[in-house]
Amino acid sequence: MKKSLPLLAAVTAITFLGASVASADVKVGVVDMNKVFTSYHKTKDAETRLNEARTQAKADLDGRLETLKAGMEAINKLEADSKKPELAADKKEAVIKQRDEKIAEVRNLDREVAEFRQTRERQLQEQFMRMRGDIVQDILKVVEARVKSEGYDIVFDKSGQGVSQVPVVLFSTPSMDFSDSVISELNKGAAKK
């Protein structure tokens, strides 16, 4: 039932829109939000910053994994040393103690690596969502200004998909699409690369 509510709302809105069209002139526009989003210069800048942050997080993680690997190698060496038959009992005990301390250290480091990975992934996801939200708000401001200045009654996102994964807008005349003017407005004043 929950999935059918948005569909029902869309059908109801279209029905009322159809009734309104019959009784008055309704100005309908479409915008390809996907095209606008990917063409906006701030999207490219955000992707660059996010990729840099991902690269830095990977470098940090790789450094921690190398330390973990070195710890494991040290444990393996201490384990091999503890099994040498020529080792005196007191030396063997010291090596075993050292190995056990190294195991505890590596376990803590392994936990820290897992926590670091989780934390960085969450931070990167939050950064992505903030950047995306800011970009969408910029786009919506330009669309809203265009709606007000040109008197649109309704604007559809022609890149949007319905519940059944069918495009919401099946057809629109090119004259209804003002995506390019939104892109131009958003990129006005951006440095040419």
Integer Cα distance of 52 and 58 in angstroms: 10
Q: Establish if 2 belongs to a structural domain.
A: no
Give the chain's domain count: 1
Q: Establish if 45 belongs to a structural domain.
A: yes
Asked if residue 18 has pLDDT above 70, the reply is no
Q: What is the mean predicted confidence (pLDDT) over 39-52? A: 93
**pLDDT given at position 42:** 93
Q: Establish if 55 belongs to a structural domain.
A: yes
Mean pLDDT of the chain: 86
**pLDDT given at position 138:** 94
pLDDT tier at 90 (50, 70, 90 boundaries)? confident
Is residue 33 within 8 A of residue 157, CB to CB? The reply is yes
Provide the CATH number for the domain around residue 105. 3.30.910.20
73 backbone dihedrals φ, ψ, rounded to 5°: -65, -40
- The beta-strand segments (E) located in 46-89 are none
- Residue (of 111, 107, 110, 84) closest to 95 by Cα position: 84
**pLDDT given at position 153:** 93
Q: Establish if 130 belongs to a structural domain.
A: yes
- Please tell me the total number of residues recorded for the chain in this structure: 193
- 157: part of which helix (H) or strand (E)? strand 154-157
Is residue 177 within 8 A of residue 51, CB to CB? The reply is no
Is residue 109 within 8 A of residue 71, CB to CB? The reply is yes
Q: Establish if 57 belongs to a structural domain.
A: yes
Q: SS3 for 164? A: coil
**pLDDT given at position 85:** 86
Q: Establish if 80 belongs to a structural domain.
A: yes
Asked if residue 19 has pLDDT above 70, the reply is no
Q: Count other Cβ atoms within 10 Å, centred on residue 30.
A: 24
Q: Establish if 13 belongs to a structural domain.
A: no
Summarised one tens digit per residue, pLDDT across range 100-154 is 999 999 999 999 999 999 999 999 999 999 999 999 999 999 999 999 999 999 9
Integer Cα distance of 178 and 155 in angstroms: 10
Q: Establish if 12 belongs to a structural domain.
A: no
Asked if residue 2 has pLDDT above 90, the reply is no
Residue ranges making up the domain that contains 53? 24-187
Q: Count other Cβ atoms within 10 Å, centred on residue 58.
A: 11
